[in-house]
Amino acid sequence: MKLLNRLLDGFEGKLTSSKRAAITKCSPDTALCDITHLLELRVLKKSPGGGQSLGYELAGQ
């Protein structure tokens, strides 16, 4: 929930798995797993672009 609170409080830029890991002080693997879960729940969606610049944003924005 810490991640969602940051996103709802006006997080600047795209969310990436490395930013998510830094915010919540978890491993990059855990961050990616959590982001994947939020994608499945349709809380997050992939931002336009891809490759190394892959980022995520709140769905509905």
The residue segments making up the domain with residue 39 are 2-58
Which CATH number covers residue 9?
A: 1.10.10
> pLDDT per residue over 12-43, tens digit each?
778 888 888 888 888 989 988 988 998 999 98
4-34 as b/e: b if 16+ CB within 10 A? eeebeeebeeebbbebbbebeeeeeeebeeb
For the chain, the domain total comes to 1
Q: What is the pTM of this model?
A: 0.76
According to DSSP, residue 9 is labeled: T
Half-sphere exposure of 11 (CA within 13 A, CB side): 19
User: Is residue 2 over pLDDT 80?
Assistant: no
